[in-house]
Amino acid sequence: MAERHDAVEVITAKRDGGELGDAQIDWVIDAYTRGAVADEQMAALAMAILLNGMNRREVARWTRAMIASGERMDFSALSRPTADKHSTGGVGDKITLPLAPLVAACGVAVPQLSGRGLGHTGGTLDKLESIPGWRADLGNDEMMRQLEDVGAVICAAGAGLAPADKKLYALRDVTATVEAIPLIASSIMSKKIAEGTGALVLDVKVGSGAFMKDLDRARELAETMVAIGTDAGVRTVALLTDMSTPLGRTAGNALEVRESVDVLAGGGPADVVELTLALAREMLTEAGVTGVDPADRLADGSAMDTWRRMVRAQGGDPEAPLPTAQETHVVTAPATGTLTRLDAMAVGLAAWRLGAGRARKEDPVQAGAGVEMHAKPGDTVTEGQPLLTLHTDEPERFERALDSLDGGYDIGDGASYAPTPLVLDRVAAG
């Protein structure tokens, strides 16, 4: 068939710093998804967008076109409002696990479509798959029933949501255009809006273990995503949170599930509890639910009850023992003093090299692998005491994991230590 536009015309417009029209954007996304625009042409356009940017209208339209490439879910028939959370990824970021059942226990349905890990950032589905019997793949009808019955579901996104994004994401990964904020924002938001949630809270990580290392760039990404959500009619807010230090005291799959259960039981690391409650409060506010304090739902056990029901609904056994690694190696403190730095990237790379993560999407992961942190920045340590425990099924992995941790922590004078706030900023619709 005759095409309505020409790929070279669209590339040239953006290359020369111009705005793309709505019809051009609609056509190029549709044509690329159909195969009428070649990979090399879309790669050229992505590079032009990286270099010259997009305005708010262009980004909103680009996102809308990606949503239109597939199906859109609808939760309006549910008996309660919906809210979802998206994290841009970090080390030890197990927040989704306690957060989804907690928010559900407060009366808001949580349709959490999640992914698997790649590189140093852990994947929510990999963590949950360490629970015996638990399954990530649900059909839309199953998802709807579980949301009505339990109130929360964490599962894999179906292939029908924003297929244009899946194709474009793979292209960006091999053409050095991943960093383009309009393309990052539209990639995340096209899937979240297509998912059909009524409210969305974004956790945009900042620091060494995050995709965004710089606070100003992270704020720009947050503002772009909040604008996209707002323009699409989804109540959207973002928190900028610190990822210079890992979250909690574990990085790995079963290790993080165990820690999440501790939080649901009313314990767990203070930073994980703090961020879980901060995000829960934002989700409840955006969903229009008032007069409920999520801290009470942790204390009274109702969040834990919802967790157990959610795990069972997806075939898992919440009472079954979690996998443990066959081998461990203890890293001891080389000196006495205050742990002033524990670098998130160093810990994330170590966990990855121990087998908790993957280099390619098709690689397997070890359920029991990861890093356990016995001290966090601000803690006093004594020479020779355990600082980290490395877990893996394959002891030959220890050497490379230890290389990752070389220079990844500092022990010094406690007087010079200044803690970084966990929540750095909040971005709402302007």
Q: Return the structure tokens found at 177.
A: 């255009």
Q: What does the DSSP 8-state code read for residue 197?
A: -
Is the distance from CB of 350 to CB of 371 less than 8 angstroms?
Answer: yes
Residue 2's pLDDT band, with cuts at 50, 70 and 90, is low
301 in any annotated domain = yes
Most confident range, picked from 361-370, 381-390, 416-425? 381-390
Q: Is 259 found in the same domain as 309?
A: yes
Q: Is 204 found in the same domain as 227?
A: yes
On the question of pLDDT at 118 being above 90, the answer is: no
On the question of pLDDT at 430 being above 80, the answer is: no
Angle at 89 between CA 317 and CA 239, to 5 degrees: 105
Q: Is 139 found in the same domain as 23?
A: no
Q: Whole-prediction pTM value?
A: 0.95
Q: Is 241 found in the same domain as 314?
A: yes
pLDDT above 90 as % of the chain:
89
Q: What is residue 197's predicted lDDT score, i.e. its pLDDT?
A: 94
Q: Is 197 found in the same domain as 99?
A: yes
Is the distance from CB of 222 to CB of 202 less than 8 angstroms?
Answer: yes
Q: Is 341 found in the same domain as 304?
A: no
User: Average per-residue pLDDT in the chain?
Assistant: 95
One-letter amino acid of 109? A
Tens-place pLDDT, residues 392-411 = 999 999 999 999 999 999 99
Tens-place pLDDT, residues 13-34 = 999 999 999 999 999 999 999 9
Report d(CA 192, CA 170) in Å as an integer.
Answer: 18
Residue 5's pLDDT band, with cuts at 50, 70 and 90, is confident
Q: Is 334 found in the same domain as 283?
A: no
Report d(CA 352, CA 252) in Å as an integer.
Answer: 8
Q: Is 287 found in the same domain as 363?
A: no
Question: Which CATH number is 337's domain given?
Answer: 3.90.1170.30
426 in any annotated domain = no
Residue that is last in its domain, among 274, 293, 319: 319
Q: What is residue 173's predicted lDDT score, i.e. its pLDDT?
A: 83
Report d(CA 97, CA 83) in Å as an integer.
Answer: 15
State the Cα torsion 71-108-427-113 to the nearest 10°: -40
Question: Which CATH number is 196's domain given?
Answer: 3.40.1030.10
Q: What is residue 224's predicted lDDT score, i.e. its pLDDT?
A: 97
Please compute the mean of the pLDDT values over residues 102-113 and round it to a whole number: 97
Tens-place pLDDT, residues 317-338 = 999 999 999 999 999 999 999 9
76 in any annotated domain = no
428 in any annotated domain = no
Please compute the mean of the pLDDT values over residues 230-256 and round it to a whole number: 97
pLDDT: which is higher, 4 or 426 = 426
Q: What is residue 101's predicted lDDT score, i.e. its pLDDT?
A: 98
Which residue's entry shows tokens 């990861």? 370
Please compute the mean of the pLDDT values over residues 266-293 and round it to a whole number: 97
Q: What is residue 366's predicted lDDT score, i.e. its pLDDT?
A: 95
Question: Which CATH number is 27's domain given?
Answer: 1.20.970.10
Domain carrying residue 47 = 7-53
66 in any annotated domain = no
Residue that is last in its domain, among 252, 286, 319: 319
Which residue's entry shows tokens 């305005």? 55
On the question of pLDDT at 357 being above 90, the answer is: no
Q: Is 38 found in the same domain as 100?
A: no
Residue that is last in its domain, among 273, 298, 319: 319
421 in any annotated domain = no
Tell me which residues are annotated as active site: 86, 165, 172, 187, 191
Tens-place pLDDT, residues 138-170 = 999 999 999 999 999 999 988 788 999 989 988
Q: Is 297 found in the same domain as 220?
A: yes
233 in any annotated domain = yes
Say how many domains are in the chain.
Answer: 3
Please compute the mean of the pLDDT values over residues 38-50 and round it to a whole number: 96
On the question of pLDDT at 104 being above 90, the answer is: yes
pLDDT above 70 as % of the chain:
99
Q: What is residue 119's predicted lDDT score, i.e. its pLDDT?
A: 64
61 in any annotated domain = no
Q: Is 358 found in the same domain as 213?
A: no
Could you list the beta-strand ranges (E) of 68-171.
Answer: 84-87, 110-114, 152-156
Q: Is 311 found in the same domain as 227?
A: yes
